[in-house]
Amino acid sequence: MPTFVTMKPLTDTDYIHALIAEGEHQQQDFKFEISDVRKIAKTLSAFANTDGGRLLIGVKDNGKIAGVRSAEEQYMIEAAAQLYCVPPVNCHWQTFLAEGRTVLVVTVDESASKPVYAKDENGRRLAYLRIADENILATPVHLRIWQQNGNPRGELIEFTEREQLLLRLFAEHDRLSFNRYCRLSRLPRRSAEHLLAKLVRYGIVELLFEGHKFYFRLKS
């Protein structure tokens, strides 16, 4: 006869401990508290522009559970998502009682309308990406990629002299920063942004992030 094993239900504490054990990564961030809606909007933008993610509010950077201190933090999350992100970010939250303290888990969906911008203290709209456990400012090339992805019309790629020059440059250099590519190609920055974005979308060129800088190279 088959043997049936009764699984012990996962408690709130077990669940939060399991999430904390993952550490901070591309789709998870710890926040001790929410004191600035703009900073939270930056994280929401990064998650929404990448693969979505999860915020654990009431958890310190070292993984210790501190708990949320007031219900106001939930309202600040909502304000960050709806008022400080453009377009608004779709997120939902759930509270868990772990070690006698309340932890707020906020799940952020990947946006279908990229880029999602976050408003800074000067009212500027900036878009972010989530790379490893950091929120990184998106480059103009990223913005072009999202813009082109949102264009319903198809686009044929033609290997004109500009494209051929780019391929020759990559044949001579393992990788190129955007500024160096502009200098070597002598293309206007907007033209260079458009061309690189198009080649990234078509899988010919890929973006690398090393040493807190973005580089481009031929995709192998």
* pLDDT tens by residue, 22-43: 999 999 999 999 989 999 999 9
pLDDT score, position 165: 85
Q: Looking at the structure, tell me whether residues 132 and 192 fall in a common domain.
A: no
What percentage of the chain reaches a pLDDT higher than 70?
92
Q: Looking at the structure, tell me whether residues 70 and 173 fall in a common domain.
A: no
pLDDT score, position 200: 93
Q: Looking at the structure, tell me whether residues 188 and 125 fall in a common domain.
A: no
Indicate whether 168 belongs to any domain.
yes
For residues 174 and 118, the model is more confident at 118
Each residue's pLDDT tens digit, 162-189:
888 888 898 899 999 999 999 999 999 9
Q: Model pTM?
A: 0.90
**Angle at Cα 209 formed by Cα 149 and Cα 155, nearest 5°?**
20
Q: Looking at the structure, tell me whether residues 162 and 198 fall in a common domain.
A: yes
**Cβ burial, residue 77 (10 Å; 0-12/13-18/19+):** buried
The DSSP bridge partners found for residue 131 are: 134
Q: Looking at the structure, tell me whether residues 150 and 126 fall in a common domain.
A: no
Indicate whether 53 belongs to any domain.
yes
Domain final position from 81, 115, 137: 137
Q: Looking at the structure, tell me whether residues 155 and 74 fall in a common domain.
A: no
What percentage of the chain reaches a pLDDT higher than 90?
79
Q: Looking at the structure, tell me whether residues 94 and 187 fall in a common domain.
A: no
Cα distances (Å, whole numbers) of residue 187 to 16, 66, 150, 181, 194: 51, 53, 25, 8, 11
Domain final position from 116, 137, 158: 137
Q: How far is it, in rounded angstroms, from Cα 34 to Cα 72?
A: 9
Task: Mention every residue, 6+ apart, whose C-beta is less than 8 A from residue 92.
Answer: 106, 107
What is the domain-level CATH number for residue 152?
1.10.10.10
What's the domain count of the chain?
2
Res. 12: pLDDT tops 70: yes
Q: Looking at the structure, tell me whether residues 101 and 204 fall in a common domain.
A: no
Gap between the terminal Cα atoms of the chain: 54
Indicate whether 3 belongs to any domain.
no
Indicate whether 6 belongs to any domain.
no
Residues spanned by the domain of 36: 12-137
Q: Looking at the structure, tell me whether residues 30 and 106 fall in a common domain.
A: yes
In the numeric block, the tokens 């992805």 are attached to 149
Please compute, for residue 175, the number of CA atoms within 13 A of its CA located in the half-sphere on the CB side: 12
pLDDT score, position 34: 92
Indicate whether 1 belongs to any domain.
no
pLDDT score, position 167: 85
Strands 125-131 and 134-137: antiparallel
Lowest-confidence region among 113-117, 152-156, 157-161, 189-193: 152-156
Domain final position from 89, 113, 137: 137
Alpha helices per DSSP H over the chain: 12-22, 37-49, 72-83, 140-149, 161-172, 178-185, 189-201
Q: What share of the chain is helix, strand, coil (3-state, %, to 5)?
A: 35, 25, 40
pLDDT band at 152 (very low <50, low <70, confident <90, very high): low
pLDDT (average), residues 108-133: 96
What is the domain-level CATH number for residue 104?
3.30.950.30
pLDDT score, position 7: 53
